[in-house]
Amino acid sequence: MSTVPPQPGSVRFFYGPMDCGKSTLALQIHDNQLRQGRRGVLLTRFDRSGPARISSRIGLSSPALEVTGDLDLAQVVREAGTVDYAIVDEAQFLTAAQVDQLALVADEQSVDVFAFGIATDFRSRLFPGSARFFEIADGVAPVQVEVLCWCGRAARFNARVVEGRVTREGPTIMIADTGAEPVPDPATGSRPHSERDGSGTRYRVLCRRHFRMGLLGPIEPG
């Protein structure tokens, strides 16, 4: 009597700009999987909270394994024993090879992979990890929480701001911590989305027009 081979797992990539709720969705999926009695591994890279955790801005968090540039993710999942799913936050920082390793465990070990990340860097160029997910994932979807530019339009570009000006130069990866809550724009009521690294560099989410023009709005928090 022949046996039915196990079905392969799926690889899904959820993407969006800062503040759109990627980490919150990752933790919600993790909770839903646990409730169904499934066992998983949580992975992250360069999480803004410091220690290896998946953390959201609304206060949710869960311990995770910190991914380094040379870590074999297929081996990590194999060594974890019986695993039904893997959740990866800050997935844009993975190497293309690591994305392929996740696809391998999906195909060969029936592990469902849920990856969450930013699609493009501060120059509006695809991160290598995100690009590879777009190429090989079974499903790719934007996170549905809409982030607004200071002008009120939908924002999807992560601008790097150095000394009050949008910059197009510098290293691709520069991690910033969450700073103080900025003051709402009196014209729109929206809060400028900002991350700070303590050195005069921060990030702002802008619409395409204002990203292209390098305009940060009528209120620029000091």
Q: Where are the domains of the chain?
A: 11-142, 157-213
pLDDT at residue 169, rounded to an integer: 82
pLDDT at residue 187, rounded to an integer: 37
Q: How far is CA 11 from the centre of its chain?
A: 15
Q: Is 90 a known active-site residue?
A: yes
Model confidence pLDDT, tens digit, residues 105-161: 999 999 999 999 999 999 999 999 999 999 999 999 998 888 899 999 999 899 999
pLDDT at residue 191, rounded to an integer: 37
pLDDT at residue 19, rounded to an integer: 83
Pairing of the two strands 11-15 and 65-66 = unpaired
Pairing of the two strands 112-117 and 85-89 = parallel
pLDDT at residue 168, rounded to an integer: 86
Residue spans of the chain under pLDDT 70: 1-5, 47-51, 58-59, 172-199, 219-222
pLDDT at residue 50, rounded to an integer: 55
**Whole-angstrom Cα distance, residue 211 to residue 168?**
10
Domain spanning 11-142: CATH 2.60.40.1260: no
Query: Residue 38, Cβ neighbours under 10 Å: how many?
Result: 14
For the CA atoms of 44, 81, 10, 95, what is the dihedral angle to 10 degrees? 40
Catalytic position from the list 90, 108, 135, 169? 90
Size (the chain), residues: 222
pLDDT at residue 144, rounded to an integer: 80
**Whole-angstrom Cα distance, residue 136 to residue 133?**
5
